[in-house]
Amino acid sequence: ETGVTQTPRHLVMGMTNKKSLKCEQHLGHNAMYWYKQSAKKPLELMFVYSLEERVENNSVPSRFSPECPNSSHLFLHLHTLQPEDSALYLCASSQARMGGENEQFFGPGTRLTVL
């Protein structure tokens, strides 16, 4: 247990569906992240929230929409996804601090399949 939980663990959705992934961290951290891991590809950073403000967006398609209502919760809203969006979606949190040390703790991930 890393102190970062994700729900659901598995999700199958059609291309016209709308769904949301949820992440919660119990570590008192001030930064949260969404990563995408496709088969046989490195992890790709999607979004970063630090102190509840989005500070980085790596040109992710608009069909992915993050929401961070407070420092403990992070959502990823999904709509009109494509089959190539099928992947493992990972949430992480960290305590960003001066000096740059920033160990990230990851949740178990949500395995998403888009039909």
Partner 1 sequence: DAKTTQPTSMDCAEGRAANLPCNHSTISGNEYVYWYRQIHSQGPQYIIHGLKNNETNEMASLIITEDRKSSTLILPHATLRDTAVYYCIGRSGYSTLTFGKGTMLLVSP
User: Where along the sequence are the contacts to partner 1 (CB under 8 A)?
Assistant: 2, 4, 33, 42-43, 45, 48, 50, 56, 88, 90, 92, 96, 100-109, 111
| Distance from the Cα of residue 24 to its chain's centroid | 10
- Can you name the residues that pair with 105 across neighbouring β-strands? 93
CB-CB contact of 78 with 20 (8 Å): yes
Q: Which is nearer to partner 1, 21 or 90 (CB)?
A: 90
Cis peptide before 8 (omega within 30 of 0): yes
Distance, in Å, from the CA atom of 101 to the CA atom of 115, rounded to the nearest integer, reads: 40
Q: Which is nearer to partner 1, 45 or 60 (CB)?
A: 45
* Shortest separation between residue 86's beta carbon and partner 1, angstroms: 14
Q: Which is nearer to partner 1, 37 or 72 (CB)?
A: 37
| Distance from the Cα of residue 71 to its chain's centroid | 14
Q: Which is nearer to partner 1, 84 or 103 (CB)?
A: 103
* Shortest separation between residue 114's beta carbon and partner 1, angstroms: 18
